[in-house]
A and B are shown apart, each in its own frame.
Chain A
């Protein structure tokens, strides 16, 4: 148990579907992140939220839409995805998004397959 919980752990969706990934952190942190991990690329930062405000959006396609309703919850809404979006999506949290030495704690990830 890492203190960061992701659901679902596995998701298969068609290209026309709309689905959402959910993340909840129980660590009292005020920053949350979405990362993408695929077989062909290093771990990629997608979005950063600090105090519920989006502070980073690394050129992610609009078919990925994040939502952070409070400091403990983070969603990734998925719409009209492509097969190349199939990957492990990792949620993470830290005490603050900007500061040296702040360890980022990861959830166990949501395995997404787009068919």
Chain B
């Protein structure tokens, strides 16, 4: 059974700093997704990564995928308060469904 682990689960960082969220998964997969969720809101799709070595960037967020290591990272550059949210990674399993990580609750402080 596919298992998805995110760390850290909670992250408090200062504005302007850099940090990385990690997503490990247990079995082979050909796709990985990153979502953002604001309190009381829906999940918003950020990135879809489909191949080994894939890297995608949007603003201050950059996601990468290493299928050999079964690892994806979400790197935050020069954090700003607006990035405060919960970030989820999700991995496609053999049934083409998605397994979600527990989420990383990010708080960016001034």
Check B42–A100 contact: CB distance below 8 A.
Answer: no
Pick the 6 closest A-B CB pairs, nearest first: A43-B100, A98-B96, A106-B43, A108-B42, A106-B42, A42-B102
Per-residue B-contact encoding for A85-115, CB less than 8 Å = 1, 0 else: 0000010100001111101111111000000
Check B88–A101 contact: CB distance below 8 A.
Answer: no
8 Å CB contact of B98 from A90, A104, A109: A104
Most chain B beta carbons < 10 A, residue from A2, A97, A104, A105? A104
Nearest Cβ distance between residue A60 and chain B, in whole angstroms?
14
Count of B residues near A, CB < 8 Å? 25
A53 at the interface (CB under 8 A from B): no
Nearest Cβ distance between residue B99 and chain A, in whole angstroms?
8
| Size category, A interface | 20 to 34
- Return the chain B residue nearest A103 by Cβ: B45
A92 to B44, CA, bound (A): 11
- Return the chain B residue nearest A4 by Cβ: B42
Chain A contacts for B41, CB-based, 8 A: 108
Between-chain CB contacts (< 8 Å), 5 pairs: A43-B88, A92-B43, A97-B97, A103-B45, A107-B42
Nearest Cβ distance between residue A96 and chain B, in whole angstroms?
9
A103 to B50, CA, bound (A): 11
